[in-house]
Structure 1
Amino acid sequence: MSCWSLLDVAETGDASCLWSLWKDGVDVEDTEDTGWTPLMVASKNGHLSIVDFLLGEGAEVDKKEWGDGDGKTALAFAAMNGHLEVVQALVSHEADVNKADKDGKTPTWLAARNGHAEVAEWLQEMGGSKESNAPTRLMHHCASERANADTAEDLVEECENDVNARDSRGRTALMYLCAGPKEIDVDTLKLLAKYGADVNAQDNKGQTPLMLAAMKGDIKAVELLLSFGADMNITDKTKRTAIEYASERGHRRVRELILTSSNFQLQSVISDVEAPKWHIPATEIEIGEYVSQSDIGGDFMGIWLDSAVVIKIYVPSTEPFGEQVGRWFALRHPNIQKLYGAVCEGYGLFVCEHMTTGSLKAYGDRKWSEWDASSVASVYRHIYEAALGLQYLHEREIVHGDVRLENILIGSNGFAKLANISSSKSVGRENQQKSSDIVTLTLCMQHIDFSVPPHGLDSQFRAEWRRLSRDMRCGGLTISEVVPRIKILIEMLTPKTNQSVSRDRVLNTLSDLRDVVDEINDERFKDIFEHLAVVCQEYIVPENHEDTIIVLQDVQYAIEERFSLSKSSTSQNSCSWVVNSPLGFFYKQMQQVLDVLRAPIKIRRELEQLWPEDISIHHAEEIDPAEVVESIPEWFIGPNELENEVPFASGGFSEVSRAQWLNTDVVVKRITMSSSNNEKRRNLFLNEVALWFGLNHSYVMKLFGGCHVGKKPFFVCEEAENGSLIKYLEKLQGTTGSMGGVWLKLYEASLGLEYLHARGIIHRDLKCDNILVDTDGRAKLTDFGLGSFASAEDRGDVSDAAHWVVPECLDGKQATFASDIFSFGMCIIQAVTGKRPWGNLDNMLVERRVQNGELPQKPPAFSNSEWELVLSMCKLKPSERLNILVVVQRLKEFASVPEAASI
Structure 2
Amino acid sequence: MSYRDPQLLDYHADSAPTNRRRLFKALQRLSANSQSYPTCFSLNDLARERLVAGGSFSDVYSGYLRGQSVAVKMMRVFDGTDVDEVLKEFGKEAIIWRQLCHPNVLPFYGLYTFLGRLCLVSPWMENGHIRGYLKRETYDTDQLLSFVLDIALGLEYLHAEGIIHGDLKGDNIFVTPSRKACIADFGLSSIITSMSSVRFTRSSKAERGGTARYQAPELHDGGVNSHCSDIYGFACAVYELLTGTAPFPEIKIDTAVAMAVLRGERPARPPSCCGTPALDGLWSLIEDCWQQAPESRPTASQVVERLQGGDIAATETNPNTRDWDEEFTSRFRRQLHPFFVPSVAEFDRVISTTGQFIRVYCQVLATYQLWP
Indicate whether the TM-score tops 0.5: yes
For residue 430 of structure 1, what is the aligned residue in structure 2? none
Larger Rg: 1
1:301-320 equivalent positions in 2, closer than 5 A: none
- Long gaps (5+) in structure 2: 20-35, 198-204, 275-279, 322-372
Shift of 1:643: 2.7
Q: Find the partner of 2:239 among 815, 824, 829.
A: 829
What TM-score results when the alignment is normalised by the length of structure 2?
0.67
For residue 296 of structure 2, what is the aligned residue in structure 1? 880
Distance 1:861 1:891, change over 3 A: same
Counterparts of 1:786 and 1:644 in 2: how far apart (Å)?
21
Question: For each residue in 1:737-794, what CA deviation from the matched residue of structure 2 results, as whole angstroms up to 9, or x when unmatched?
Answer: 5222221111111111111100111111111111111222111111112123144957
1:752 aligns with 2:154: yes
For residue 653 of structure 1, what is the aligned residue in structure 2? 57
Distance 1:632 1:761, change over 3 A: closer
Shift of 1:701: 0.7
Q: Is the 8 A contact 1:744 1:895 kept in 2?
A: no
For residue 328 of structure 2, what is the aligned residue in structure 1? none
Distance 1:660 1:895, change over 3 A: farther
For residue 22 of structure 2, what is the aligned residue in structure 1? none
For residue 424 of structure 1, what is the aligned residue in structure 2? none
Determine helix, strand or coil for the equivalent of 1:813. Answer: coil
Shift of 1:834: 1.2
Q: How many residues align?
A: 282
Question: For each residue in 1:294-349, what CA deviation from the matched residue of structure 2 results, as whole angstroms up to 9, or x when unmatched?
Answer: xxxxxxxxxxxxxxxxxxxxxxxxxxxxx7x75154xxxxxxxxx8x86569xxxx
1:633 aligns with 2:39: yes
What TM-score results when the alignment is normalised by the length of structure 1?
0.29
- Comparing both chains, which one has the higher relative contact order based on Cα–Cα distances under 8 Å and sequence gaps of 6 or more? 2
Shift of 1:873: 0.5
Counterparts of 2:6 and 2:264 in 1: how far apart (Å)?
38
For residue 259 of structure 2, what is the aligned residue in structure 1? 848
For residue 763 of structure 1, what is the aligned residue in structure 2? 165
1:95-110 equivalent positions in 2, closer than 5 A: none
Determine helix, strand or coil for the equivalent of 1:634. Answer: helix
Determine helix, strand or coil for the equivalent of 1:683. Answer: helix
Question: For each residue in 1:599-657, what CA deviation from the matched residue of structure 2 results, as whole angstroms up to 9, or x when unmatched?
Answer: xxxxxxxxxxxxxxxxxxxxxxxxxxxxxxx985222212xx11353222221111111
Q: Is the 8 A contact 1:655 1:670 kept in 2?
A: yes
Counterparts of 2:228 and 2:131 in 1: how far apart (Å)?
23
Counterparts of 2:90 and 2:48 in 1: how far apart (Å)?
24
Q: Is the 8 A contact 1:686 1:708 kept in 2?
A: no
For residue 690 of structure 1, what is the aligned residue in structure 2? 95
For residue 865 of structure 1, what is the aligned residue in structure 2? 281
Determine helix, strand or coil for the equivalent of 1:750. Answer: helix
Shift of 1:816: 1.1
1:774 aligns with 2:184: no
Question: For each residue in 1:574-623, what CA deviation from the matched residue of structure 2 results, as whole angstroms up to 9, or x when unmatched?
Answer: xxxxxxxxxxxxxxxxxxxxxxxxxxxxxxxxxxxxxxxxxxxxxxxxxx
1:714 aligns with 2:119: yes
Distance 1:887 1:867, change over 3 A: same
Shift of 1:707: 2.4
Q: Is the 8 A contact 1:804 1:837 kept in 2?
A: yes
Counterparts of 1:668 and 1:686 in 2: how far apart (Å)?
18
RMSD: 3.3
Shift of 1:679: 4.1
Letter in 1 for 2:41: W
Distance 1:830 1:714, change over 3 A: same
Letter in 1 for 2:218: E
- Long gaps (5+) in structure 1: 1-275, 279-322, 330-338, 346-629
Determine helix, strand or coil for the equivalent of 2:41. Answer: coil
1:550-569 equivalent positions in 2, closer than 5 A: none
Counterparts of 2:118 and 2:271 in 1: how far apart (Å)?
44
For residue 423 of structure 1, what is the aligned residue in structure 2? none
Q: Is the 8 A contact 2:83 2:118 kept in 1?
A: no
Counterparts of 2:16 and 2:71 in 1: how far apart (Å)?
28
1:813-824 equivalent positions in 2, closer than 5 A: 813-824=223-234
Distance 1:674 1:868, change over 3 A: same
1:809 aligns with 2:214: no
Counterparts of 1:831 and 1:895 in 2: how far apart (Å)?
18
Determine helix, strand or coil for the equivalent of 1:701. Answer: coil
Counterparts of 1:647 and 1:874 in 2: how far apart (Å)?
35
